[in-house]
Structure 1
Amino acid sequence: MPQLLLLALAGLAAQLVDGSLGMAYGVTSSTLLLAIGTNPAAASATVHLAEIGTTLASGVSHWRFGNVDWKVVLRVGVPGAIGAFVGAQFLSRLSTEAGAPAMSLILLGLGVYLLVRFTLFGLRTDRRHLPLRKRFLAPLGLVAGFVDASGGGGWGPIGTPALLASGRLEPRKVIGSIDTSEFLVALAASVGFLVAIGSQGVNLTWALALLLGGLVAAPIAAWLVRHVPPRILGSAVGGVIVLTNTRTLVRSDWVGWKGETQEGVVLGVLAVVWVAAIAWSVRAYRADQAAARAETAGAGADEKVVATAV
């Protein structure tokens, strides 16, 4: 029972982050399942099974709050589903010994990307008037879907920053559209794992616990997307993923540092970097807010001058 409660809380927290940031449900949940010793393919299959429900609930919630662009959902989601099915087949053919560190390496890369992307870079707003093209969305969906299924997460960490970086869609619609299209990816990945490994190793009880936590969080996250600073949240989540998967890697047969001094040193350094990244993000966010207030005040003052002159 304590384990199921922990999984439900993890599902709730992961969905809160995913629904408000547009990423990290799969990465966060898969990292947790790997940490408690789950087979990589089974971990990804369990998470994607839970995501069928959470992404459906999240998509409906985002749609009700007006956060979804349905053209983007279809143009990125269908190729994403194809990539996810192939990725599920790929991961299912890796041995457990090779799969665990390989999956942690993918998750670590995604965590580093999250940490760097949201700590150092802001969001572009100068290209909102330009349309998103199929020749950009289709390859993006294909790659993100493959990484998502084979790495236990990646649809959001790849898709959301790519769309945000394009500057052609407002952030809330990027997040809502990526979350909604993930339903197609989760469904295709689940079918892929079912074909490849059947129900072997897939814990339906764990999937249900993750699902229940995610269902509670989905409508809250869709509302929070208008209020939570993505920069700070991205740095925080990225750091957790980097630390957890680095720990898995250094303890694996690839490195073999379990319980040794090197492990503590590496994790300690990463923890310091993580705290510094969050502090940097908070400072940058406050600076952006102050600049925005100053710009608004300046515009108001100019309007008063014009009104007085008239």
Structure 2
Amino acid sequence: MFIAYSVYSYFNSDSIVKYGQQLYTQLDEKFILMLAVGFFAQLVDGALGMGYGVVSTTLLLSGGLNPAVISGSVHTAEMFSSGASGFSHYRFGNVNKKLFRTLLIPGVLGSIGGAILLSYAGEAFSGYIRPVISIYTLLLGIRILINAFRNKRKIQKVKRAGWLAGAGGFLDSFGGGGWGPLVTSTLISKGRTPKYVIGSVSLTEFFVTMASAVTFFFLLGVSHWQSIIGLIIGGILAAPIAARLVGKLPIKKMFIGVGCIVIFSSLRIIWLAVSKMI
């Protein structure tokens, strides 16, 4: 209701219809590509708890866009897909309510802080922080793969989960992705059941991305609507499928999938940072 009221306060019914007709005439192969990217990104993210920001941001970075614009566009689209994903996970009983409450407020505050800093600091500091965090997530990915091949995983107590959520929210806004790789990877590396970790983190992600998207909207506005709408539709279509998969996939294969996603995305960021320094 809040979002609908905000939109209606800026646009009347005639302008919305006119804008919709103009948008339809501008749809081309790029929209189809974004639709496919949004579907695949959300399918990975909803099933493994990470990957949406990495896939979407990588594609937009290839177009040479400003990092703040990219992050704002991705989070605007991700707000819808993560909402559908979170609702689907909640419906299928994949959410641990206690864990959700622990992650919610710190994640939102970290997301707002990262969006504000990126809007004013720009690309300079983002290039230094992401490789450092990627080294951490790389180690987590290796640890997850090791856990996947153990017969029994010892469950450890997760300490300072709120600080973890705050860091994940900050990195997600400031670096264009990182909520899933940091938060999901850390919780799963402690031996927690992937089904409930992914479901709880995915539901929290909706509020984190919404806080980021709203912050970027007020500071920078939103551009590249054609790409955003393609990502939104693709993500919404994939969300219920991914939520159903997370309850069906074997735990061992889920650990392997999460580990591979984390290692690949971490190595990619580290490699790009090293290449710029050479």
Consecutive aligned runs of 4 or more in structure 1 exceeding 6 Å deviation: none
Structure 1 position 113, deviation (Å): 4.7
Is the counterpart of residue 25 in structure 1 residue 52 in structure 2? Answer: yes
What's 2:155 paired with? 127
Q: Which residue of the other structure, out of 156, 170, 195, is the alignment partner of 1:172?
A: 195
Structure 1 position 46, deviation (Å): 0.8
Deviations 1:113-160 (A, max 9, x none): 5642433333874438x7x6xx62221111111111111111111111
| Counterpart secondary structure, 2:160 | helix
RMSD after superposition: 2.7
CA contact (8 A) 1:79 1:139 kept: yes
Letter of the structure 2 residue corresponding to residue 232 of structure 1: I
Structure 1 position 81, deviation (Å): 0.3
Structure 1 position 58, deviation (Å): 0.4
CA contact (8 A) 2:126 2:175 kept: no
Change (3 A) 1:113 1:139: same
Any gaps of 5 or more consecutive residues in structure 2? 1-27
Letter of the structure 1 residue corresponding to residue 56 of structure 2: S
CA contact (8 A) 2:138 2:262 kept: yes
Q: Distance in 2 between matches of 1:151 and 1:29?
A: 13
CA contact (8 A) 1:31 1:107 kept: no
Q: Which structure has more RCO (C-alpha within 8 Å, separation ≥ 6)?
A: 2
| Counterpart secondary structure, 2:265 | helix
Q: Distance in 2 between matches of 1:18 and 1:7?
A: 16
CA contact (8 A) 1:31 1:245 kept: no
Letter of the structure 1 residue corresponding to residue 142 of structure 2: V
What's 2:121 paired with? 94
Change (3 A) 1:62 1:8: same
Larger radius of gyration: 1
CA contact (8 A) 2:46 2:85 kept: yes
Deviations 1:198-255 (A, max 9, x none): 33xx322211111111111111111111333223323443455356545644664x43
Change (3 A) 1:14 1:111: farther
Is the counterpart of residue 216 in structure 1 residue 244 in structure 2? Answer: no
Is the counterpart of residue 105 in structure 1 residue 131 in structure 2? Answer: yes
What's 1:181 paired with? 204
Letter of the structure 1 residue corresponding to residue 89 of structure 2: H
Letter of the structure 1 residue corresponding to residue 105 of structure 2: V
Q: Distance in 1 between matches of 2:264 and 2:106?
A: 30
TM-score, reference length from structure 2: 0.77
Change (3 A) 1:127 1:241: closer
What's 1:57 paired with? 84
What aligned pairs does 1:73-84 form with structure 2 within 5 A after superposition? 73-84=100-111
CA contact (8 A) 2:49 2:198 kept: yes
Letter of the structure 2 residue corresponding to residue 189 of structure 1: S
What's 1:36 paired with? 63
Count of matched residue pairs = 246
Change (3 A) 1:119 1:2: farther
TM-score, reference length from structure 1: 0.70
What's 1:259 paired with? none
Q: Which residue of the other structure, out of 22, 30, 38, is the alignment partner of 1:3?
A: 30
Q: Distance in 2 between matches of 1:220 and 1:126?
A: 30
Letter of the structure 1 residue corresponding to residue 181 of structure 2: P
Q: Distance in 2 between matches of 1:56 and 1:142?
A: 19
Letter of the structure 2 residue corresponding to residue 69 of structure 1: N
Aligned-residue sequence identity (percent) comes to 36
| Counterpart secondary structure, 2:121 | coil
Change (3 A) 1:194 1:110: farther
Letter of the structure 1 residue corresponding to residue 231 of structure 2: L
